Amino acid sequence: MLSYLKSAMNRSFVEFRRRLLLCSALCLILMVARDLTAGERREQEDPLVPVYPAFFNTANRDSQVYIKLSFEKLAGNYAVLDDSQFYREPYDADSIEMWFYQGGVYYHPTLLSRRVQNIISTYRRNGDEKYLERAEKLAARVLSMCFPDGDAVFAGFPFRFAVHGDSALLLSPPWVSGMTQGELLMAVVRLFKITGRQEYMDAAHLLFNSFLHLRRNHDVWVARIDGDRYYWIEEYPHDRSPGMTLNGFMSGVFGIYDYYWLTGDNRAKTILDMCLATIKHYLPQYRQEDEPSFYCLGHRHVAEESGHFLHVRRLRDIYRMTGDDFFDIWADSLESDGNLAYRTNRLVRIYHRLTKMVGDWFSSDE
């Protein structure tokens, strides 16, 4: 009888231990699953969690060592004191400048973002607090025009816009621009550097994330990878006909550089490397020797004089950021083209071209 009871107790203990282990394992599985889903939820909800997209491993790069410029030497510091003192008409009741377009008056996020940068430059030079207050007021207006999309924010334009006046290239509000994202990113990075206010750092993170939104993965986008695996920032991100606009592309580059300059985020360096690979690969296609450069490759529009020499200035800015002679040499070439195309007597231009044609003819005979 005792042996039977002992045996029964042993069987009960073994069964109890088995069930205890089973329950413990089940609880452990549930806890792990809960933590994983919570982690995924935090990653979706928290825009500050670094995300390393798959395209980082496939897009072309030109690995660079970036120079940490002083604040005053950052791209876009072209402020003119007299200009910063005035308010450009039209402006609203709060003296925030607006823009006439097709019979309406609108806030223009690109122009306002650039204005913020210029006023900040003036403030850095004279220390007058009224300029900082004005820069913050303008920045607040542009940030109020931003809308969220996933882990990013985009500054939306409040009017319809036909690229090059072409109704087939119509962008509807709230359309977005890689140029604007870069200009606004530059503005908030510099405001954070001056004020230390966290709201500007938070905005910088969200704006930077917009450059991770590729066309194939998002309805709202300013960046894409082309068929040859080159990364593009699009000033006019038209779904059917991206413009490949050089000026707007480089504005995006400067915004990303400023973000990297401030945070040291390795994702920003990776995107910079991708951008410079794209510029190096495609820049020869923008050049027309002894003629104005192309404004965009997608639609083959020629740059006006101001746009052409803006290409020159911005290539020199990239040279200062990188120390890479490629960008300085190409700036020299485009500057020479522009001087001949825009700033030389027409007869002199004709003589130069005829001389070049004769020289090329003799060279081909050899």
∠ CA 157-160-165, rounded to 5°? 120
**Prediction pTM value:** 0.82
Kindly report the number of other CB atoms within 10 A of residue 165's CB atom.
7
Q: How far is CA 166 from CA 146, 160, 162, in A?
A: 26, 12, 5
pLDDT digits (tens, 9 = 90+) for 197-218: 999 999 999 999 999 999 988 8
Give the containing element (helix H, strand E) for 31.
helix 2-45
Assigned token pair, 152: 């990013």
| pLDDT band with cut points at 50, 70 and 90 for residue 365 | low
pLDDT at 84: 73
| pLDDT band with cut points at 50, 70 and 90 for residue 9 | low
Dist CA 208 CA 205 (whole Å): 5
CATH class of 75-221+232-264: mainly alpha
Q: Considering the chain, what is the average pLDDT of its residues?
A: 86
Q: Is the pLDDT of residue 366 over 80?
A: no
Compute the average pLDDT of residues 24-37.
49
pLDDT at 106: 97
Compute the average pLDDT of residues 280-290.
97
C-beta of residue 245 within 8 angstroms of C-beta of residue 295: yes
| pLDDT band with cut points at 50, 70 and 90 for residue 72 | confident
Higher per-residue confidence, 356 vs 99: 99
| pLDDT band with cut points at 50, 70 and 90 for residue 163 | very high
Dist CA 63 CA 65 (whole Å): 7
pLDDT at 118: 92
Dist CA 134 CA 33 (whole Å): 50
| pLDDT band with cut points at 50, 70 and 90 for residue 76 | confident
Kindly report the number of other CB atoms within 10 A of residue 290's CB atom.
16
pLDDT at 353: 58
Q: Is the pLDDT of residue 22 over 80?
A: no
pLDDT digits (tens, 9 = 90+) for 295-354: 999 999 999 999 999 999 999 999 999 999 999 999 999 999 999 999 775 555 565 556
Q: Tell whether the torsion through CA atoms of 58, 64, 65 and 67 is positive or negative.
A: negative
pLDDT at 52: 79
pLDDT digits (tens, 9 = 90+) for 217-246: 889 999 999 999 999 999 999 999 999 999
pLDDT digits (tens, 9 = 90+) for 98-145: 999 999 999 999 999 999 999 999 999 899 999 999 999 999 999 999
Q: Is the pLDDT of residue 4 over 80?
A: no
Residue 80 region by backbone torsions, left for phi larger than 0, else alpha for psi between -120 and 50, else beta: beta
| pLDDT band with cut points at 50, 70 and 90 for residue 356 | low
pLDDT at 85: 73
Compute the average pLDDT of residues 176-184.
98
The beta-carbon contacts of 85-89 under 8 Å, at least 24 apart in sequence, are none
pLDDT at 39: 41
Q: Which amino acid is at 302?
A: V
Q: Is the pLDDT of residue 188 over 50?
A: yes
Rounded to the nearest 10 degrees, the angle between the axes of helix 246-263 and helix 266-286 is 160
Compute the average pLDDT of residues 153-174.
96
pLDDT at 159: 97
Q: Is the pLDDT of residue 155 over 70?
A: yes
Sequential DSSP letters for 162-208: EGGG-GGGEE-SSB--HHHHHHHHHHHHHHHHHH--HHHHHHHHHHH
Dist CA 165 CA 288 (whole Å): 24
> Domain segments of the chain: what residues?
75-221+232-264, 287-361
C-beta of residue 187 within 8 angstroms of C-beta of residue 155: no
Assigned token pair, 121: 């430059």
